[in-house]
Structure 1
Amino acid sequence: MPQIAQLAETYSSQVFWLLIIFGLVFLVIGRGMVPKVMDTVAMRDSQIAEDLAAAQAARDLAEQQEEAWRKRENQNRADAHALISAAKAEAAVQAEQKLAAAQKRLDETLVGAEQRIAAARAEAAAEVESIAADAAQDIARRLAGIDVARPNAEAAVKKVLAHG
């Protein structure tokens, strides 16, 4: 075959051109394109790292703000509970004062009513004694035909009522 026979004659020129093409490819791609690609990759890596750092900083800031909000919210709740407790205590004191005033008025009314009842009872007892003394005088006059003096009739009625 003639192609194989001429291989020895063209071998050196083919190797020469192969080395020149590989050299050019190395220079164009290896020295020209690869550094640009590596710079782009490095730039993307640094941008990603910066973005991740910024995201972490934002997350830390958000967590700090959330923690501060929670503390404020817990303090507000505690203040609200204290305010409610104070209002309840004040309302209880006011209610107790109102109840004490009402109880005092009721006690005064009760004392007045008891005094009126005692006066009415004494008056009724005196009237009953007077009626009983009149009845005793009348009975003694009608049955025995004797006149009993008013003080004697009253004393006899009092004696009977004291035993009865």
Structure 2
Amino acid sequence: MPQIAQLSATYASQIFWILLVFGFIFFVIGRGMVPKVMATVEARDKQIAQDLAAAETARKAADAEEEAWRKRESANRAESQAIIAKAKVEAAKEAESRLAEVNAGLGARIAEAEARIAASRDSAMGEIEAVAAEAAEQIVSRIAGISVDQASARKAVQAELTGA
């Protein structure tokens, strides 16, 4: 059987070429390219780790800055609240003093007005008494035909006005 005799020659040639191709692939790719790819992957991993560390540091710095800002803002807010409270107290005191001044002025004006009203009332009462006395004097002289002097008519009118 000649086919079996050819097997050893055919396989020897194929084994040789397979070893040659795999050897070439091993040395070119395995020894040449893979270390470069691995070095690139390691460099990339190292760069990513450094970037993450820098980002974490920046985040911590930003958090610290934010906390300091919040403290300053809180202190400023408290200070402004104190200023507002002080202004309110001063405004209330000023309003009270102005109100006291106005009340004093109003009290004086009211007393003056009451005095004028009392004077006007007294004057009006005097005029009413005079008119009533004159009317009583004329009524008595017409009805009774008696002449009454003005002083007694005035006394009678005063007695009726105070008694009523």
TM-score class, shorter-chain normalisation, is 0.5 to 0.7
Distance across 2 between alignment mates of 1:36 and 1:109: 105
Residue equivalent to 1:67: 67
Query: 1:79, CA displacement in angstroms?
Result: 2.8
1:17-67 Cα offsets, whole Å, 9 max, x none, are x7xx96x99899888877666555544433332222111101110111112
The offset of 1:114, in angstroms, is: 0.8
Aligned partners of 1:34 and 1:114: how far apart in 2?
115
Which letter maps to 2:113? A
Partner residue, 2:101: 101
Looking at structure 2, the residues matched to 158 and 25 of structure 1 have their Cα atoms a distance apart, in angstroms, of: 146
Structure-2 separation of matches of 1:163 and 1:78: 73
User: Which runs of 5 or more residues in structure 2 are unaligned?
Assistant: none
State the Cα distance separating 1:157 from its structure 2 match.
1.7
TM-score, normalised on structure 2? 0.66
Segments of structure 1 that go 5 or more residues without pairing to the other structure are: none
Instruction: Please list, as runs of the form range in 1=range in 2, the aligned pairs for 1:15-94 lying within 5 A after superposition.
Output: 41-94=41-94
Work out the percentage of aligned pairs sharing the same amino acid. Answer: 47
TM-score, L = length of structure 1:
0.66
C-alpha change, 1:147 and 1:46, in structure 2 (3 Å) is closer
Quick check: 26-35 or 40-49, which moved more? 26-35
Matches within 5 A, 1:124-139: 124-139=124-139
1:52 maps to a residue whose letter is L
Quick one: distance in 2 between partners of 1:115 and 1:108?
10
Instruction: Measure, in 2, the Cα distance between the counterparts of 1:149 and 1:130.
Output: 9
Structure 1 residues 5, 54: CA separation in 2 closer, same or farther (over 3 Å shift)? closer
Once the two structures are TM-superposed, the CA of residue 129 in structure 1 deviates from its matched residue by: 1.9
After superposition, residues 107-146 of structure 1 pair within 5 angstroms as 107-142=107-142, 143-146=144-147
Distance 1:35 1:124, change over 3 A: same
